[in-house]
Every structure is written in C-alpha cells, then in structure tokens.
Amino acid sequence: MVQIGYTLMSEQTPARELVDYAAVAERIGFDYAVISDHYFPWIEEMGHSPYCWSVLGAAAQVTRRLPLMTYVTCPIMRYHPAVVAQKAATMGVLSEGRFTLGLGSGENLNEHVIGEGWPPVDTRHRMFAEAIQIIKLLFGGDYVTYQGEFYDVDSAKLYDLPERPVPLAIAASGGQSAEIAAEYGDVLVANEPMPDVVRQFNAAGGQGRPVYGQLPIAYDTDPEAARQRAHHLWRWSAAGGWKVMSELPGPANFAAATGTVRPEDVTRTVPCGNDLDAVVQGVRQFADAGYTHVALVQIGHDQQQPFFDWAEKELLPALREL
C-alpha cells in the first residue's frame, strides 16, 4: 500500500500555521509529513518562506507519531554539510527517531543568497556527493577531520545523536543523481512519476528501498476557482523542467519564465476541484512507477482547512484502497 503524506508548503503558509497543520495532518491520518527548505518562494504570489528547521522543531513537539522529513535540504552552499548534520541529528532526537533528512543538490533560487555564484551541474553533483559523505561520517558519532575538493571539516563531533542514525533521502532527476542516491541514500526522492529514474536507482543498488514522490492538488468545491488558483500559485512548475528551474535566481525570473504558461498547462498534471478519482489516478501513476510514498500538496493556503476536512472524510479513505 502506498503511504500518503502531507506537504507543509512553507512557500505559501505562515510559520505558525505550518506547525498547526502538522498536528492536524497527524490527527486526521496522514502517514507522514514533509517540508520544503527554501530561502525564497518560487513566485511572489506565494508570499512566504520561513526557516524550515524552526518549523520542524516545533512540529516535532505538537506531534507524537507523524514521521517528518525535509523535502529537500541542499547541503552544498547555504548550509555547510557539518551544520546540516548537526541540525538533522538534533531533529532526530527531538522527534524521537521520526525524522528523515531529505537532501538534494539545490536551486540557484535559494543558494545564491550567500554571494558565491552558482556552479555548473556536474560540479554541484560532485559537491553534493562530498557533502553527503561528511554528513554520514558525522552521524557515526566520532570526531571528523576532512579535507576534500570542496569542503574542509576541522575536528567536528556531534554530541547529541538519536539512538539510530537519521535516514538519508536523496533527490534524483536523472541517471547521475540516481546513482548518487543508490550509493548514499536510504530513500529515493523524485517529485514526478519517473519510472526510468526508479529503474536506474534500483539497478545501481537501491532495490527494495522506499521511493518518495509528491502530487500537487488544488482542492475546492468550485473546480474553476481551483484551476485559477493552481495557475496563479503553481505556474512556476511549468518553467521548463528541472534543468531550467534549478538555474533561475529569483521569483522575478520564475515569473518571467512562466509568462506564457496557460491554466491548462498547469492543470494537466494538477487535479483541481473535489474529484476523488482524479487524485486517486494521480497517486496510482506514482504507484505504477514503483513509488512507495506520495506526499500531497494542497495549493492555496486559504483552502487548507476545507482540504483537511475533505481528506479526512473522503480522500484518505479512498486512497487507502489503492
């Protein structure tokens, strides 16, 4: 059975409400919750982007069973990997073992803020692999001194570690990143249904490990209002694919890149309204591609509570039968 998660969408939601939503997601029966780790929203209309690690700490205190996960953190620029390791280990302790560290090679959108420029993709992948190695070494609990191509670590040690090491979920969108995920990760993350990436991950040694995806939906009892909201807030997702999106430096650039995106370009992959079958079919596409977990994203902060009511009474029971 596919596990159904809830996405704490930090780019469209104030920090306090995100914490409240984690508690509601647990109460109504979601299997886990994920949160994005951004400095910026993709477009100005989304309007928020709190520090996800503060939200996670608070969420761990208002929940008891709900697994939590970053979706995903970039450990190559804005955060040094040694700092990511400490944050993740602390979350492992605070959540009593319910935290998974989701990692990805990042977006210019969030990483440019430190003023170091944005490396080409092959360099980013090498940086990413090195950062993961440092994190795993520090999770071992010993002193770590490391001199690499990109990072140095000088006699670092984590003093607060959970009983079991924090699992690593590695994001991938192609063959090279799938191989990194298989080598270092306990979990594969791939947003869209990507059977080829899952096959590459399995062929590289990841067979049998969980695979996480994410499905955006726009719930509303008015389907047309849902379609308009999906276009208004989610058109950034049609900015030309990940190779383009990872290079854009700011919300204004995403707005420019999506100036010709039509509502139907967004709603082609985003179920809109209150059609249960459309959401079930969307999740089924992930299941058929080999995914074990799918996190739902409700587009639109103003419809979160109605979405929760619908999810509890109708959507989650329907998905349990998938």
Q: Which of 11, 26, 107, 130 is catalytic?
A: 107
Neighbours of 147 (CB within 10 A): 8
Both tokens assigned to 145: 């001194």
To the query of whether residue 192 is one of the catalytic residues in this protein, the response is: no
Instruction: Tell me, yes or no, if 38 is annotated catalytic.
Output: yes
Residue 85 CA: distances (Å) to CA of 67, 79, 144: 18, 10, 12
| CB atoms inside a 10 Å sphere around CB 57 | 17
Q: Among candidates 101, 175, 176, which has minimal Cα distance to 134? A: 101
The active-site residue out of 11, 26, 38, 301 is: 38
**Furthest C-alpha separation in the chain:** 58
Write down the residue that tokens 């619908």 correspond to.
Answer: 310
Angle at which helices 52-62 and 81-94 pack, to 10 degrees?
A: 10
Active site positions, annotated: 38, 107
